Amino acid sequence: MTSFQENFRKKFLYDTLSKERTVENLIQLYRWSIRIATLVYCVYMLLFAEIYQFMALNVLLAYIPLEISFHVKKVNKQGFFLLGMLWLLFYPNAPYLFTDFFHLERLPIYQGMNQLFGQSLAAWLSFGLLTVGICVYGFLGMATLFTILNECYKRKNLNHKWQGILFIVIVNFLSSLAIFVGRFDRLHSVHIFTKPLQTLSTIFFTWSSSKWLFILLFTGLQLLLVSTIFLLRGLELTDQEEMRY
């Protein structure tokens, strides 16, 4: 090997390692930015929010599947299975956030049938904080569905496109089931650890027509939200391709 080839090889390896370190640094910056923002939001809502203190817990629970998704690529087969089960347990907390829009009725903004809106800055601040918590963590949490799905394909747990589609439908169906029992039976993800038998009985052995209709309706709604996330990812990829030319 000539000195020119050796220098070229070293430069190529150096550039490759530099790019890898840069990407890793950006990933860590992204993750820690989300962690710090989540902590700030939860502490603020818990200590200073006038009527929406419950959003601190709801956002924290919705953040858990996002944190889990940060680690699924680094574990072995058994670790991925355990993290996947834990992710599935907490994933419904993300789409559950969208049901919190009903709490907007507690704001003194809407003033009767004349369709006038109040100008209280405190009320509109509460509106903004509620909306940010719901939309940001709802969409971020639901986007982890694609992280888990892609990892399943890489690990050969799934091999065909139809399996991925079925995976998405099943996860959203189970998520809708969890949202129903969370909203109407007042169960949280932590109850699977504190009251496992009662929780499993309520989820899987108590059915009604209204429960079925809600689950089907919310499954459809979640599929639309997931499709929106998929389209946004598609736009991002399209922009990246256009920047190359």
pLDDT digits (tens, 9 = 90+) for 190-225: 777 888 888 888 888 889 999 999 999 999 999 999
DSSP state of 155: T
Taking alpha carbons only, the member of 75, 79, 73, 45 closest to residue 59 is 45
Calculate ∠ Cα 28-91-37, nearest 5°.
40
- C-beta separation of 50 from 126 below 8 A: yes
* pTM recorded for the entire structure: 0.83
CA distance linking residue 233 with residue 143, whole number of Å: 10
pLDDT digits (tens, 9 = 90+) for 36-75: 999 999 999 999 987 899 999 999 999 999 999 999 998 9
CA distance linking residue 48 with residue 103, whole number of Å: 17
Angstrom CA distances, 1 to 5, 7, 14, 119, stand at 6, 10, 18, 76
